[in-house]
Amino acid sequence: MQNAGRFFMEMTRYMHLTASDQQMGTAPPPLEKPYPEDGTFIQLPPIDRVHDSTTSLLEVIEARRSIRTYSQESLALEELAYLLWSTQGIMDSRAPHFTLRTVPSAGGRHACETYLLINRVEGIPPGLYRYLAFSHRLIEIDTSSGIVDKVMSACLGQPFVRSSAVTFIWSCVIYRMSWRYSERAYRLVHLDAGHICQNLYLAGEQIGCGTCAIGAFDDEEMARIIGADGIEEFVIYLATVGKKKM
């Protein structure tokens, strides 16, 4: 469709919105995607095990860059937990209506889910995992030997996916947002993804990591990799993380 972007912006203006399910009295959806209770879980350590940095926030902001080359050093499990808490940590929950997290989200709906391609994290076998924010755990998705190749291929062959310690993959469960905001939700979830990724850049900088956001990926293939349908849940953003080369 020609001018699809303009059509999207037009049809998500308030004058075109339909009534939301919240306005119609429908009960809200869960604030976290369901997961199998018999899955393989990894409990993450508390985030206070990461030592406080003496670097000021201003220094972190000024030092932030997109970094595509990394050392072969592994992330500590505590460091991964810190990055996850910094990007999706739950500070208060008023389920099923909203949560207060370490990043802003329209109406506190937080429609994003976090998946991780782990290459080098101490104590975790390489593979694809999902972060369960409410219990601060990981659940194993796919630890087959070819998973890194699949993710790199879906990122249009960008090689730093393979060399990173971790690649963050953020999906969006759109109804979690559209329940409240109708079609406007499709605008809002992109803003949410930006908030999350910027926090990853800043938290990573604080612990000596470089980060690089990825917007170039095959939407359908990436959805298949994480087990999403690409419609009700779709991948919205990615970012690689790794220890900086000295």
What CATH number should be reported for the domain holding residue 219? 3.40.109.10
Please give the average per-residue pLDDT across 21-44, as a whole number.
97
In this predicted structure, the answer to whether residue 183 has a pLDDT above a threshold of 80 is: yes
- Domain count across the chain: 1
pTM above 0.75, yes or no: yes
Question: Could you list the residue range(s) of the whole structural domain that residue 46 is in?
Answer: 38-243
**Cα–Cα distance for residue pair 158/216, rounded to 1 Å:** 9
pLDDT band (50, 70, 90) for residue 19:
very high
What's residue 50's pLDDT? Answer: 74
What residues have CB less than 8 Å from 134, skipping those under 6 apart? 31, 32, 90, 93
**Cα–Cα distance for residue pair 218/235, rounded to 1 Å:** 9
Which tens digits make up the pLDDT trace of 45-64?
Answer: 998 877 666 789 999 999 99
Token pair in block for residue 105 = 């989200």
In this predicted structure, the answer to whether residue 78 has a pLDDT above a threshold of 90 is: yes
Q: Say if CB 156 and CB 170 are below 8 A apart.
A: no
6 within some domain: no
Average pLDDT, the chain: 96
Please give the average per-residue pLDDT across 146-157, as a whole number.
98
48 within some domain: yes
Only one residue has tokens 């810190």, namely 82
Please give the average per-residue pLDDT across 85-99, as a whole number.
95
What's residue 48's pLDDT? Answer: 80
94 within some domain: yes
32 within some domain: no
101 within some domain: yes
228 within some domain: yes
18 within some domain: no
What's residue 16's pLDDT? Answer: 96
17 within some domain: no
